[in-house]
Structure 1
Amino acid sequence: MTKKFYFVLASIFIVMLVGISQGGLTESSEARYAEIGREMALSNDFLHPRMLGIGHYHKPPVTYAITALGYKVFGFNEFGARFFLAVALLLQLLLVYKMGKLWFEDRKTGIFAALIYFTFPIVLASVLNLTTDAYLNTFILSSIYCFLVAKLKKKKGFLYLGYALLGIAFLIKGPVAFLPVALFMICYKISTKEPIKPSKHTVLGILLLLGISASWFIAIVLEKPNLLDHFIEDQIVKRSVDASQFKRSKPFWYYLAFAPLLCLPWTVPFVYVLIAKRKRLTFTPQLKTLGFSCLAILLVFSLFSSKLIFYILPLYPLLALFFAGVYKQVLEHEKNYFLLTYKVGFGILTGMAIELLCIPTFEYKIWFSILALAAIGSYFYWWNFKTKASKSTRLFALSTGATLILLLLYFSFAPQNELLLRSFKPQYAFIEKQRKDTKDYKVIVYDYRLPSAAFYLGDRIVTVTNTNYESLRDTRFERDSSWTQSYIDLRDPNNYERFKSLLKDSTNIIITKDRRPIPDSLEYLTKHFEVEAFGDWRVHY
C-alpha cells in the first residue's frame, strides 16, 4: 500500500509541474509576490524587498527569496514563480502522512490523512497562486512534526529543528506563525496530561527561535530605525485590530461559517459520525489533541478583526489527521456512508463540469472538454461498478481522482480565461506586439498598482496615483530619489507637468480602468491614442 501511495504522490507532483505554469500571474497578491521576487533575483539583494522600484516592507523576505530562487533556476516566468508551490504541496502531503503514521502508530491512517488533506479545496487554492500561505503552512506543519518526533521518539535534535523551522515561519509572515504551533502544543499538554516543565533544551530552543525570528528585523531596523514603528504599528497592531484599513474586517462568525465549507464533501460524513455514531468512537489523546487544536485555532483567529480565509490554512492538516483517526475507528461500520457521500460528490463534480461548458462567458477547447468529460465518466463508472477493490480503496480512488481531474480542468481553463481570473497577461502581450519595434517607451498605469505589468514588460512601468488608495506607495524609507522615475503622485500639483509630458509622447502606452479614467482636464492629451478594451481595462496606444 505504501508503494501505491508514493506513486499517487508522484502523480500529484507531476500533474502540478505540468500545469503550474498555465495561466498568467493574477492581481493583486500573486503578481505582487512574483514581482518582488523578480526584483530580488535581479538585484541579488535578499535583505530589502522592493516592488516597482520602491521598498516593500509589509512582510519578511523568505517568500520573496524562495520565489527568487525559482527564477534563478527556471528563469523569469510563471513556472519559476510557482515551482516551489508544487514542492510545498508535496512536502505537506509527506508531512501529514508521517505525522499520521507516527502519532497513530499506523501507516494506513497516515495515508488516509494525506489523501483527505489533498482533497480539501482550500489546500489546492493555496498552492495554485503565489502567496505566503502555502510556504507558511509548510513550515508550521514541519515544526509541529519535529516537536512530535522529539516528544514521541525522544530525539532532542528534532526539538531544535522544530524551533528553527518555526523561526523561518516567522520570517515568512511574522508573529501569526507562532499561534497554530503554540495552540497545538497547549492542547497536546492538556490532552496527554503532561506537566509543563521547561527543560534546558526547551529554553535553548526558544532562544534559537527568537534569534532566527528577529534576525532580519534587527538587520533592517539597524539600517533604517524608522522601520521599527512601521513593523509594530502598521504591520502588527493595525492588521490585528484595525482591519478596516486593509479592507479585511469580517464578523466573528466568519471562520466558523466558512471553515467547514472548505473541506467538503468530507464534512458531511464526519459530522454525521460525530453526532449519530459518537458511541462507537474512542476519543484517544491523539483525537482530543487534534479536535481541541482545531477548535482553538478557529476561535482564536475569529477574535481578530482582520480575516482572510487563508489565515486558518494551518487548521486543515490537523483536521485531516482528525478525520483520518475517526475514519479508521468507524471504517468497518460506516464505510458505505462515506462511499455514498463521495459518489454524490463525484456526481456533483460531473454536473458542475457540464454546466461550466454551457456558460458562454467561459472559453474552452472543445475537444479537450469532451475528452475530460469522457475521462470523468469512465473513471466514475470503473470505481463504482467494475472494480473489486475494497470500499476504502474505492473511496480514496474517487476522492483523489476527482481532485486530480479538477486540477487538470483548472489548468486547461486558466490560460483560456485569464482576464476572468484577473490575469492581465493578454493586454501585456498586446502591448508588446504594438511596440515590438520600439525600445524606449513607457507604460503608464493610471491610478492603479499593477506589479504584473513590470513582471511581463520590465522596468518601463510608471505608476501614477491620484485618488485610488490602492495605488499609493510608501516612500518614507527611500534614501534617494530614484523611485521618482517609476512613480508619480498627482496629489502633489508639482507632478502634473511630468505626467502631461508622458501623455504627450505618442510612443508611450497608457493603461486605465473604466472606473478611473484619465481626468477630463487632461483627456485632450489622449486624443491621438487608439484604444483597445480588455474587459473593464483599456490600453491606449
Structure 2
Amino acid sequence: MDVRSRVVLFSVVYFLLLLFPGSALHLRETTEARYGEIAREMVVTGNWVEPHLNGIKHFHKPPLAMWGMAAGMELFGINGFGVRFFGIVAAVAALVALYGTARLFLDDEDAVNASLICATSLLFLSSSRLVSTDIYLACFTSLAQLMLFRQLHGVRSPWNAPLYGVFLGLGFMVKGPIIFLFTLLPFLVAKTFDREHRRVFSWRETAIATGAFMAVGLPWYVIVCAKNPQLLDYFVRVQTVDRVATNRFGRNKPFWYFFFIFATTFLPYTLFFVRGVMGWNELGRRIRILFVYIVVPLTVFTLAKSKLSAYILPFYGTASIFTAYALARVDMARLRAVTTVLLTMAAVAVGVAGFVYQPAASFRGQLVLYSAALLVLCVFLRKSCISSNFVRNTAIFALCFSLAVYSAITYLGPYQKGYREMVTAINRFESGEKHDVLMYRAFLPSLSFYRNRLVAISLVGDRDLRFEENEDLQNVYLSSEADVERFLAERGEIFVVTSPAHMETFKRNHHCFATPVFVQSKHSAYFCRKASAPLLSR
C-alpha cells in the first residue's frame, strides 16, 4: 500500500474511532453544555444569525463552530452524537491538511508520522471529541497554513492566495482575531529575517487574499452589529482587549501555565519535541523558521491574562511536524525506551483504576481487559524502539488507550459534571407532563439541552443582558426572589435544580413542599409544590 493510500485509510479509521462513543458521552458543564445549548437553540428557533444561550443573546464567540454543531443535530437529532459530528470532521480535515503541509518539510514517511503525532497527542485527541470551538479553529489554522506553505515551499498557484484568505475568514468566524496568532503574526515575524517569507505573495495576491478574507469573515459581523449597536464595542473591547490585558473572565494563570500544558498534553511526544529543541544545530533552516509558528503564539498566550488549556491547540500541527523532523534526524534511542516504559505504566494504571477509584469499581473487569490489551501493544512497541515503526506503534497505543478512557467516561457521566441522568429522572418522575424546571442559584445549560426546552435561571449574576429587553426574559431569567415567587405561584408545581443547602433556603422563602427526584453531591433535582396550591396530577 502506498503512502497516500495509508493516509486515506488512517483518516477513515481515525474518523470512525472518534465517532465512538460520541452518543454516549455526556455534555460536560460548562463548556460543552454551553456550546451544545447554543447550537440546539439555533435548531429549534431557526435563528442562526444571533446565537442565544438559554434564551439570552450570546456573542462571546462568532457562530461558525455552533453552526457546525447545529448542522450535525439537524442531520442526527438533538443528542451528543449530532452535536459532536462536524467537530470530528474538522479534526480529520485538520490532519489531512497537516499531512499536505508536512510533505513540504519532510519525506512522505515522516509526513505521515507528523499526522500520527498530532492525531494522537493528548490535547488534540481529546479536543476532537469535545463540543467546543477549539477543534474548528485548529482545522482552519491547518488549512490556512497549508496554503501559505504551499506558496512558500511548494507549487506557487493562483489559488493559494484566495484560499489562504478564505480559511483565515473561516477561522475568524470561529474565534475572531485569534486565528491571526497562528498565521499572520508569525508570518510577519518571519518576514523580518527570512527572505522566502518576504516575497511569498505579490501585492496583487495580497489584495486578493484580503478580499477573500473580508468576503467570508466580515458579513456576519456587519449584520449583527447593525442589529445590536453595542456589539462592535463589545467585540473589540470586551472580547479582544480585555481577554488579553485583564483578568475580567477570571482565567489568569501563572506565566508558566502554557509551558506546563504543552508538556503534559503533547504526550506521549513531549520528550521528542524537547530533544529536537536541544538539538537545534542539527535542524535545517526551514524547520527552524517553522518553529516561529510555535513560539509566537505561545509567547502571546503566555503574556495574556486570560488562559485556558485548549487555546494553544492550533499550533500542535506545526509542533508535530517539528517533532517528526527531529525524530528522523536526531538520535533518540534512550527517549524511545523511556517512552515505552511510561506507556507501559499507563497501561497498568488502566487496570488498577477500577480497584482504587470507587466510581470505576462497577466496570473494573472491562478495565482489566483493556489493560491486558494495552500491555500486549507495549510488547510490540518495545520491539520497534529502534525501527521506523515506532511512531506508528505509539500512535496505535494512544488510540487504543483513548478508547479505554472514553469507554470508562461513558460509565462515569454522573461523576463528570454530566446532567443527562438528572433529566432522565425528571422526565420519568413526571410521566409525560411538561412541568417547568427552575435552576435556583445555578446555571447548568445541559439541562436545557437534554430537556430540549428552555430551563429558567434564577439569581445568577453573571448573565450578560446588555443585548436584551428585560420584559422578554420574565420566564427565562429571574433576577430576584420576587420573580421566583411569581414563577412558582403561576405554575403551582415545578422542578427545582439547586444545591441541597440552597434548597432549604428555597423552601423557607417560598413555602413549598419538595420531593427529591435526583440527588447528587453538588446539584440535585426536586419536585416542588406550593404549599397553598392544590395537588396537580402527575
Confirm whether residue 266 of structure 1 aligns to residue 269 of structure 2: yes
Point out where structure 1 has 5 or more consecutive residues left out of the alignment.
none
After superposition, the C-alpha distances for 1:304-341 in whole angstroms (9 at most, x for unaligned) are: 111111111122111101111112223xxx25334313
Say if 1:395 and 1:187 are closer, same or farther in 2 by CA, change over 3 A: farther
Confirm whether residue 356 of structure 1 aligns to residue 353 of structure 2: yes
Give the equivalent residue in structure 2 for 1:401.
Answer: 396
**1:45-444 correspondence runs (5 A):** 45-104=47-106, 106-151=107-152, 152-190=154-192, 192-194=194-196, 196=198, 198-243=202-247, 245-272=248-275, 274-275=277-278, 281=282, 283-330=283-330, 334=331, 336-363=333-360, 364-385=362-383, 391-439=386-434, 441-444=435-438
Confirm whether residue 539 of structure 1 aligns to residue 537 of structure 2: no
In 1, are the aligned partners of 2:381 and 2:394 still within 8 Å (CA)?
A: no
- Cα displacement (A) at 1:421: 1.5
Mapped to 2, the partners of 1:46 and 1:64 lie a distance apart of: 9
Aligned AA for 2:458?
A: V
Mapped to 2, the partners of 1:515 and 1:174 lie a distance apart of: 40
Mapped to 2, the partners of 1:5 and 1:211 lie a distance apart of: 33
- For residue 24 of structure 2, give the secondary structure of its aligned residue in structure 1: coil
Give the equivalent residue in structure 2 for 1:476.
Answer: 466
Mapped to 1, the partners of 2:149 and 2:84 lie a distance apart of: 30
Mapped to 2, the partners of 1:261 and 1:422 lie a distance apart of: 23
Give the equivalent residue in structure 2 for 1:19.
Answer: 21
**1:34-45 correspondence runs (5 A):** 34-45=36-47
- For residue 529 of structure 1, give the secondary structure of its aligned residue in structure 2: strand
In 1, are the aligned partners of 2:348 and 2:375 still within 8 Å (CA)?
A: no
Mapped to 2, the partners of 1:461 and 1:408 lie a distance apart of: 34
- For residue 530 of structure 1, give the secondary structure of its aligned residue in structure 2: strand
- For residue 458 of structure 2, give the secondary structure of its aligned residue in structure 1: strand
Q: Number of residues paired by the alignment?
A: 521
In 1, are the aligned partners of 2:118 and 2:320 still within 8 Å (CA)?
A: yes
In 1, are the aligned partners of 2:272 and 2:323 still within 8 Å (CA)?
A: no
- Cα displacement (A) at 1:129: 1.4
- Cα displacement (A) at 1:188: 4.3
- For residue 104 of structure 2, give the secondary structure of its aligned residue in structure 1: helix
Aligned AA for 1:526?
A: C
- Cα displacement (A) at 1:528: 4.2
Mapped to 2, the partners of 1:274 and 1:304 lie a distance apart of: 24
- For residue 496 of structure 2, give the secondary structure of its aligned residue in structure 1: strand
In 1, are the aligned partners of 2:37 and 2:446 still within 8 Å (CA)?
A: yes
Aligned AA for 1:474?
A: D
My pick for the range that moved more, 349-358 or 137-146, is: 349-358
- Cα displacement (A) at 1:4: 3.5
- Cα displacement (A) at 1:234: 1.9
- For residue 454 of structure 1, give the secondary structure of its aligned residue in structure 2: helix
In 2, are the aligned partners of 1:509 and 1:539 still within 8 Å (CA)?
A: yes
After superposition, the C-alpha distances for 1:395-414 in whole angstroms (9 at most, x for unaligned) are: 12331122111221122111
In 2, are the aligned partners of 1:191 and 1:288 still within 8 Å (CA)?
A: no
- Cα displacement (A) at 1:273: 5.2
Say if 1:237 and 1:195 are closer, same or farther in 2 by CA, change over 3 A: closer
Confirm whether residue 459 of structure 1 aligns to residue 456 of structure 2: no
Mapped to 2, the partners of 1:515 and 1:125 lie a distance apart of: 35
Say if 1:372 and 1:448 are closer, same or farther in 2 by CA, change over 3 A: same
- Cα displacement (A) at 1:515: 5.8
Aligned AA for 1:462?
A: A
Q: TM-score, normalised by structure 2?
A: 0.91
In 2, are the aligned partners of 1:444 and 1:463 still within 8 Å (CA)?
A: yes
Aligned AA for 2:306?
A: S
My pick for the range that moved more, 118-127 or 168-177, is: 118-127
Q: TM-score, normalised by structure 1?
A: 0.90
- Cα displacement (A) at 1:285: 2.6
In 1, are the aligned partners of 2:287 and 2:322 still within 8 Å (CA)?
A: yes
In 1, are the aligned partners of 2:51 and 2:63 still within 8 Å (CA)?
A: yes
Aligned AA for 1:510?
A: V
Say if 1:274 and 1:239 are closer, same or farther in 2 by CA, change over 3 A: closer
Mapped to 1, the partners of 2:33 and 2:116 lie a distance apart of: 30
- For residue 10 of structure 2, give the secondary structure of its aligned residue in structure 1: helix
Say if 1:381 and 1:207 are closer, same or farther in 2 by CA, change over 3 A: same
Mapped to 2, the partners of 1:79 and 1:131 lie a distance apart of: 14
Confirm whether residue 512 of structure 1 aligns to residue 486 of structure 2: no
- Cα displacement (A) at 1:208: 2.6
Say if 1:515 and 1:156 are closer, same or farther in 2 by CA, change over 3 A: farther
- Cα displacement (A) at 1:261: 2.2
- For residue 474 of structure 2, give the secondary structure of its aligned residue in structure 1: helix
In 2, are the aligned partners of 1:113 and 1:324 still within 8 Å (CA)?
A: yes
What RMSD over aligned residues (CA atoms) do the two structures have, in Å? 2.3
Point out where structure 2 has 5 or more consecutive residues left out of the alignment.
528-538
In 2, are the aligned partners of 1:443 and 1:511 still within 8 Å (CA)?
A: yes
**1:487-498 correspondence runs (5 A):** 487-490=477-480, 494-498=482-486
Say if 1:335 and 1:226 are closer, same or farther in 2 by CA, change over 3 A: closer
In 2, are the aligned partners of 1:462 and 1:485 still within 8 Å (CA)?
A: yes
Give the equivalent residue in structure 1 for 2:535.
Answer: none
